[in-house]
Amino acid sequence: MPAITKTKRTYNMSTTAVDLVKHSVEVLHAAPSQDSFVEDAIISHAQRLRDAEEARLWRQAASDPVYQAEVQALDILFADDDLHAWED
């Protein structure tokens, strides 16, 4: 597996955030290091933001008549293939 390139960054955080990171790592053993805890938190938060955006787009598509017509046309077009796929 190739080595992961790391970049040194400095961020200003509240003492509350710093204390939470330190406690999570040193007491709760939530990650092997404070850096990895913060990195995991950033990645997790970014994933939640992406998931929320994707959910918003799906909700939008559900009320889009052009999209719904396309889905209906595809359902009709592939109906026989779908039935055969479930026969096995």
Specify if 9 maps to a domain: no
Give the model confidence (pLDDT) of 10-30 as tens digits.
999 999 999 999 999 999 999
5-44 burial by CB neighbour count: b if 16+ within 10 A, else e?
Answer: eeeeeeeeeeeeeeeebeebbeeeeebeeeeebbeebeee
Q: What pLDDT score does 88 carry?
A: 64
Position 43 in a domain: yes
User: Is residue 6 included in any domain, yes or no?
Assistant: no
Q: Is residue 7 in a domain? A: no
What DSSP string describes 35-56?
Answer: HHHHHHHHHHHHHHHHHHHHHH
Say if residues 37 and 21 touch (Cβ distance below 8 Å): yes
Q: Does the pLDDT value for residue 80 go beyond 90?
A: no
Amino acid 22: pLDDT = 98
Question: What are 37's two structure tokens?
Answer: 């805890």
Q: Is residue 42 part of a domain?
A: yes
Task: Decide: pTM greater than 0.75.
Answer: no
Number of folded domains in the chain?
Answer: 1
Residue 78 placed within a domain: yes
Residue 30 domain-assigned?
Answer: yes
Structural domain that includes position 58: 15-87
Is 1 a member of any domain? no
